[in-house]
Amino acid sequence: MSPSVTGKAFEDAIEGILRLKGFVVVAYSDWREAEIHRAKHPKFLIKRVPYKSIFGHRAFMEFLLIHGERQILIESKHQKWNGSTDEKLPYIYLNALKNLPEREMILVLSGNGWKPGAVEWIRRKADETDGFFVMSLDEFVRWASRVF
């Protein structure tokens, strides 16, 4: 992705990839209001899904992917220049641990502004943790093509 890409555009790219794989995209509020979640073979991408954070408050994940019985939380972080996004990686990891094993989690990373060692650290944590995955957007596309 180019350096001018925003976090929202990055989320839209992930959503677009999953739409192409046949996922129905639904806002969480509409998901809970409708009966579509009772589909026999669900293949949904739910947007802005609430969960209880490690701090005990209501927080939101960008996506919840539902494929049959499988549920995968998807968080995306784009860091185009030095900033504080990489400091959120331990928080994201601890929240993933809180949701495992009921829900897997994928963290999709983009951009060149990460502090030295930040991406390596979170990738090591993913290697050590069943059900927690860290991917670039290209890796996510390959994963989605292989799995769906």
Domains in the chain and their CATH numbers?
7-147 (3.40.1350)
Q: Which residues does 46 contact at the CB level (< 8 Å), separation at least 6?
A: 26, 27, 28, 31, 63, 64, 65, 66
How far apart are the C-alpha atoms of 36 and 30, rounded to whole Å? 9
E-state strands within the chain:
24-27, 43-52, 58-67, 70-78, 104-110, 132-136
Q: The pTM is what?
A: 0.89
pLDDT tens string, the chain, 148 residues long: the values are 544 557 788 899 999 999 999 999 999 988 765 656 566 667 899 999 998 899 999 999 999 999 988 899 999 998 888 778 889 999 999 999 988 888 899 999 999 899 999 999 999 999 999 999 999 999 999 999 999 8
- Residue 126: other Cβ atoms inside 10 A: 19
How far apart are the C-alpha atoms of 38 and 52, rounded to whole Å? 24
Residue with structure tokens 């960008």?
62
Q: Which amino acid is at 61?
A: M
How far apart are the C-alpha atoms of 135 and 88, rounded to whole Å? 16
How far apart are the C-alpha atoms of 134 and 109, rounded to whole Å? 7
What's the maximum distance between 2 C-alpha atoms anywhere in the chain? 46
